[in-house]
Amino acid sequence: MPIPLPPPWRERLTGATWKREPEGESGGIIHRVIAADGTRLYLKYGEGAVADAVADEAIRLRWLQGRVAAARLVSSVIDPDAAWLLTSTVPGKTGDAWLEQNPGLLEQVVRGFASMLIGLHALPADECPFDASAAVRLAAARKLVAAGAVDE
């Protein structure tokens, strides 16, 4: 297997087909996985600070289930130094894939993204357990800059 797996997943993913995907926004290692039974999944893995981002994504996906269209959280494992996220695939293509195929679809792609964002922003903020306020985001950004993790 191309990455270390948590023990509960080793048997499930034995015999799977793995395809490395481009690195995600969090810096996590992403693989498209087809399990031996044909189930199509995505696996994201990270260590250190990237593990924190992967763990946060798992928590947010769990909260989003049933609220907006999103990948189904199949499983997540969070260790002190690493995190793994296993999700279902989502049918369809990404916006950039549509535009690569046909740049004339730009308006439709933008409308699709806008519709998704309207749905996301329609969720009741008082039910959201995550604080992404400007103060929290700026503090996190300052921490990344101070750590040299941002190309200024």
Q: What is the pLDDT of residue 69?
A: 86
Q: What is the pLDDT of residue 26?
A: 73
**Quick one: DSSP state of residue 38?**
S
How far apart, in Å, are the Cα atoms of 81 and each of 50, 54, 142, 148? 9, 11, 23, 20
Question: CA neighbours within 13 Å on the CB side: how many for 43?
Answer: 26
Q: What is the pLDDT of residue 131?
A: 86
Question: CA neighbours within 13 Å on the CB side: how many for 114?
Answer: 6
Q: Which two tokens stand for residue 114?
A: 């806008």
Q: Measured at the alpha carbon of residue 25, what is the angle toward residues 139 and 108, in degrees to the nearest 5?
A: 115
Q: What is the pLDDT of residue 135?
A: 93
Q: What is the pLDDT of residue 104?
A: 97
Low-confidence ranges of the chain (pLDDT < 70): 1, 23-24
Residues paired with residue 87 on neighbouring β-strands, in sequence order: 42, 73
Catalogue the E-assigned strands of 65-107.
73-78, 82-88
Residues paired with residue 19 on neighbouring β-strands, in sequence order: 32
